Amino acid sequence: MKPAPFEYHRPSSLAEALELLADLPDAEPLAGNQSLSILMSNRLASPDHLVDINDLAELSYVAADGQSVEVGALVRHREVERSGTLADALPLFPEAAGKIAGPVVRNRGTVGGSLGEGDPAGNYPCVAAALDADLELASADGSRTVPAEDFFIATMFTDREEDELITGLAIPREPFPPARTGQTFLAVKEAAQTWPTLSAAGAVRVDDPAADEPVVEEARVALANAAEVPLRVREAESELAGEPLTDAALAAAGETAYEAVDPEEELHADETYKRELAREYTKRALTTAHDRAVA
Amino acid sequence: MSVDDTGRSDRPTQEITVTVNGESVTAEVEPRLKLSDFLRSHMELRTVRVGCEQGVCGACTVEFDGTVAKSCMLYAVQADGREVTTVEALSEDGDLHPIQEAFHEEHALQCGFCTSGFLMATRELLAENPDPDRDVIEGALADNICRCTGYQNIYDAVETAADKLEGE
Ligand SMILES: Cc1cc2nc3c(=O)[nH]c(=O)nc-3n(C[C@H](O)[C@H](O)[C@H](O)COP(=O)(O)OP(=O)(O)OC[C@H]3O[C@@H](n4cnc5c(N)ncnc54)[C@H](O)[C@@H]3O)c2cc1C
Ligand code: FES
Ligand code: FES
């Protein structure tokens, strides 16, 4: 379990890191190392250079204003989990963080690493898809913004160029004012150490939480490990929007999810089982989000 | 100190200076040397256990730069200029730390392979939350695997340790 030899670089600023990524052939960013080290130990990855970005304090921020929430790439899972700002603005994000491994892994793992890895089973890619996040990327040549939907292309394959770093994530707040919104992140997993068989992120906004029959104005559901990218199920969302929540609408939403997914078979979960999980967890995520919106 | 797992001298090394258990150590290491191997094999800190070497078992857990981390998922070069603490630093002059005493009293170990990792994770938990309930304890130790005890005695030991530390 020893990685292949590499050269190690520890830049102290974003500009320096981007220069290194531009100049060094076969260089890989190193963040929390909670995924990369496993790949390297098993020789599934053997970069010639590692560019350690852990000293880039400028990528370690959580900020919210009326329009959006911004989270830096170097924010650790533990910080996401404990962020009061995120708990108030986008509670499904810290909920998702708390369901990654145990606290020792969460002390090190980062937002940028989780997105950069591009694992469709990952918690944050699913959160980013559900909340319509924009990923911010930078290279020595400049920066650009890519919507989550375009960023994730296939399993472990993203729109990031080799000389680019993810610097952060921007999430619009406008669809989900906290007072009329409920959110949740549900993960089906055997143990803390295992990746989820399937996860579901849900968000629901109602017109008036105090009404007898609050009308669902906006619903979101995204599934992890159900296709080769984090999958937002728009058809399921539109089953709910515009009327008070009913069992019939939930059942219809579940059916669309059953059809929409394209899951990879695993040792303990065949394709049909995963489709059934997608159906059930779409319903549970939307129900939980709705119940929290009206509570 | 020159550190080379393979005995080959043609691979580049890098000089690091790390504060390990309060003492500054300078060494030449290959960048790919894991912190776990550096601590266990080269610093001879035998409480650092090397189990799965891929982030699952937690036997290699140490404190790195202020929080607990799995040392098989860090390279020794990353520790340059940083502080590392292992179980060796817990006991003073041969006296067990209250968490170690609690593990002893509650029979929270059988083979003991996992114990160092549990001690380090428990230490961080109790520093952050002096009176955790059972669910919190389970969650805090979720990164550590024990193949012997069935965990219940470990959770009991954490409760006992919390009481001991509170009484100090
Ligand atoms: C036991 C265990 C269980 C886990 N369970 C889960 C789980 O249930 N759900 C889940 O989502 N995750 C899980 N993880 C993975 C964890 O979330 C990782 O922390 C995360 O996937 C990678 O983040 P990192 O900061 O450690 O990145 P690294 O491992 O350092 O990097 C991962 C990849 O991203 C690239 N990268 C890192 N930062 C950037 C950046 N800023 N810009 C561009 N590229 C970058 C690296 O080059 C590398 O290719 C688990 C990990 C372990 C060890
Ligand atoms: S040896 Fe590090 S987690 Fe198992
Ligand atoms: S006591 Fe043997 S693994 Fe825990």
Is the Cβ pair B143, A193 closer than 8 Å? yes
Architecture in CATH for domain A7-52? 2-Layer Sandwich (3.30)
Q: Which two tokens stand for residue A14?
A: 């974003």
User: Between A50, A52, A101, which is nearest B143 by CB?
Assistant: A101
Q: Which of B47, B114, B118, B120 to mutate to test the pocket of ligand 3 (most atoms within 8 A of CB)?
A: B114
Enumerate residues 90 to 149 of chain B having a beta carbon within 8 A of any beta carbon in chain A: 121, 124-125, 139-145
Q: What is the pTM of this model?
A: 0.96
Give the N- to C-terminal CA distance of chain A in Å, as an integer: 50
Mean pLDDT of B107-126: 98
- Cβ-contact A243, A215 below 8 angstroms: yes
Pairing of strands A49-52, A27-30: parallel
- Tell if the CB–CB gap between B68 and A107 is shorter than 8 Å: yes
- Ligand closest to A80 (CA) is 1
pLDDT score recorded for residue A48 = 97
Q: How many Cβ atoms from other residues are within 10 Å of residue B41's Cβ?
A: 16
Question: Where are any strands of DSSP class E within A53-119?
Answer: 62-64, 68-72
Do the Cβ atoms of A185 and A199 come closer than 8 Å? yes
Residue ranges lining ligand 1, Cβ < 6 Å? A 28-36, 53, 73, 100-101, 105, 109-110, 112-114, 116-117, 122-123, 160, 165-166, 193, 195-196; B 55-56
Amino acid at A39: L
Residue-wise pLDDT tens digits, A69-126: 999 999 999 999 999 999 999 999 999 999 999 999 999 999 999 999 999 999 999 9
ipTM: 0.94
Domains of chain B in sequence order: 14-89 (3.10.20.30), 98-167 (1.10.150.120)
Question: Residue A242's closest CA among A221, A205, A217?
Answer: A217
- The pLDDT score that the predictor gives to residue B1 is 47
A6 and B32 in contact by Cβ < 8 A? yes
Q: Per residue in B18-76, pLDDT tens? A: 999 999 999 999 999 999 999 999 999 999 999 999 999 999 999 999 999 999 999 99
pLDDT value at residue B11: 81
Residues A138-158 have pLDDT tens digits of: 999 999 999 999 999 999 999
- For chain A, what are the domain ranges? 7-52, 57-172, 181-294
Tens of pLDDT, residues A258-287: 999 999 999 889 999 999 999 999 999 999
Reply yes or no on whether the pLDDT at B16 is more than 50.
Answer: yes
Average pLDDT of chain A to the nearest whole number: 97
What is the fold of A57-172?
A: 3.30.465
**B132: which chain A residues are within 8 Å (Cβ-Cβ)?**
none
What 3 state SS string does B5-56 have?
CCCCCCCCCEEEEEEECCEEEEEEECCCCEHHHHHHHHCCCCCCCCCCCCCC
pLDDT number for residue B9: 58
Write the residue in A107, A108, A192 that is nearest to B142 by C-beta.
Answer: A192
CA of A185 vs chain B CAs: smallest distance (Å): 17
Q: Atom 38 of ligand 1 has which residue's CA nearest to it?
A: A113
What is the CATH code of the structural domain delimited by A181-294? 3.30.390.50
Q: Are B41 and B47 in contact (CB under 8 A)?
A: no
Ligand 1 atom having least distance to the Cα of A37: 29
Percent of chain A beyond pLDDT 90?
A: 97
Is residue B8 over pLDDT 90?
A: no
pLDDT score of B132: 98
Per-residue confidence (pLDDT) for residue A1, from 0 to 100? 78
Residue from B49, B115, B120, B151 whose mutation best tests the ligand 3 pocket (most atoms within 8 A of CB): B115
Q: Is some CB atom of chain A closer than 8 A to the CB atom of B4?
A: no
Q: Give the CA angle between residues A73, A75, A80 to the nearest 5°.
A: 125
B114 within ligand 3 shell (Cβ under 6 A):
yes
The per-residue pLDDT for B18 is 98
- pLDDT tens profile B82-108: 999 999 999 888 899 999 999 999 999
CA distance A179 to A294: 9
> Is the predicted pLDDT of residue B6 greater than 60, yes or no?
no
B139:A7 CB<8 A? no
User: How many beta-carbon contacts under 8 Å exist across A and B?
Assistant: 90
pLDDT in tens, A177-204: 999 999 999 999 988 889 999 999 999 9
- Say yes or no to pLDDT of A230 above 70: yes
For range B98-120, the mean pLDDT: 98
**In this model, does residue B7 exceed pLDDT 90?**
no
